Amino acid sequence: MPATIIDGKKIAGDIKREVKQETDRLKAERGITPGLAFILVGDNPASQAYVKMKGKGCDEMGFYSVTEKLPAETSEQHLLNLIDKFNRDPKIHGILVQLPLSKHINEEHILNAIDYRKDVDGFHPINVGRLVTGQDCLKPCTPVGVQELLLRSGNDPAGKHVVIVGRSDIVGKPLLNILLQKQKGANAVVTIAHTAAKDITLFTRQADILIAAIGKAECITGDMIKPGAVVIDVGINRVDDPSAKNGYRLVGDVHFPSASQVASAITPVPGGVGPMTIAILLRNTLRAAQGNVYHS
């Protein structure tokens, strides 16, 4: 039987409705409008598209947002000065520097310069440390989006074997730490498989929940999946398609036609994890504006 489709667009819409309601209350009761600053360096088309979609999400929520578009050759110091300005701006509750940055800019210096209370990406070492130790913090958007997709589609990861393919700082590592916590909505047995594995299929076939975050088009095929597994596809890859209007189409890291014949449930690309990343970014910005994340 073909897999059930986990509708990320619908679930993200539910979360955005919750965020909008709370935002309206925050404005009415405390006179606070959540504010988000985007910093975009260079002309990477995918990064430009993501920032545009995130900005549109801010408009839908009634947030205040600013986007600083800078040329690829922008100096690290200029970027640090801009972050310092946003750190001190009371109208700004969240700062998002879209990655990747130009080669000459040290990503660590930039991410560490963001006030951790405005770090709506959850990339600052204070937030990473708090996440690992199970303390409340701003958490990375895509991994939390994956957790919400699982929970809201009736696939609680508790006691399940989750296999994540990919060990990035943005997805694989934080997702491991989120799902590993002895907390509600988590408590999974988690394995990370990555490029150093001799045979990745040995790992993927053991997954009750398989999460593909590799960044390589359609590399997880149906024969690599245990029958009945839940498959979450984090990948968004552009592949050439002369028949498409813009010359390309989007595919995930999972080969959907074969995987959907084996899995019990699966996310599509587009319309799976992508909209969730934006919904969680908006929720993180709201939480930062509420100012109640860091009690201890």
Applying CB under 6 A, which residues contact ligand GUN? 96-99, 121, 141-142, 170, 277
Q: Name the CA radius of gyration of the chain, rounded.
A: 19
Whether the CB-CB separation of 14 and 277 falls below 8 Å is answered with no
Q: Which residue is nearest to ligand GUN (CB)?
A: 99
What is the C-alpha to C-alpha distance for residues 40 and 48, in angstroms, rounded to an integer?
Answer: 7
Q: Name the pairing type of β-strands 248-251 and 237-240.
A: antiparallel
What is the C-alpha to C-alpha distance for residues 276 and 287, in angstroms, rounded to an integer?
Answer: 16
Nearest distance from C-beta of residue 138 to ligand GUN, angstroms:
12
Q: Which is nearer to ligand GUN, 92 or 96 (CB)?
A: 96
Nearest distance from C-beta of residue 229 to ligand GUN, angstroms:
25
Nearest distance from C-beta of residue 127 to ligand GUN, angstroms:
13
Q: Which is nearer to ligand GUN, 65 or 98 (CB)?
A: 98
Whether the CB-CB separation of 162 and 185 falls below 8 Å is answered with no
CB neighbour class for 138 (10 Å; exposed up to 12, middle 13-18, buried from 19): buried
Nearest distance from C-beta of residue 79 to ligand GUN, angstroms:
13
Q: Which of 16, 54, 118, 160 is catalytic?
A: 54
115: tokens are 């006030």
Angle between helices 141-152 and 172-180 (to 10 degrees): 50
- Tell me if residue 98 is catalytic: yes
Nearest distance from C-beta of residue 140 to ligand GUN, angstroms:
6
Query: How many CB atoms lie under 10 A from the CB of residue 245?
Result: 7
Torsions phi, psi for 200 (to 5 deg): -65, -25
- Tell me if residue 91 is catalytic: no
Q: Which is nearer to ligand GUN, 51 or 179 (CB)?
A: 51
Q: Which is nearer to ligand GUN, 83 or 170 (CB)?
A: 170
Q: Which of 16, 115, 118, 121 is catalytic?
A: 121
Nearest distance from C-beta of residue 125 to ligand GUN, angstroms:
15
User: Sign of torsion, CA 114 118 124 126?
Assistant: positive
Q: Which of 98, 115, 160, 233 is catalytic?
A: 98
Q: Which is nearer to ligand GUN, 3 or 251 (CB)?
A: 251
Q: Which is nearer to ligand GUN, 98 or 237 (CB)?
A: 98
- Tell me if residue 54 is catalytic: yes
Nearest to 69 by CA among 94, 38, 46: 38
Edge-to-edge, what's the strand order for the sheet holding 35-41? 64-70, 35-41, 94-97
Show which residues are catalytic. Answer: 54, 98, 121
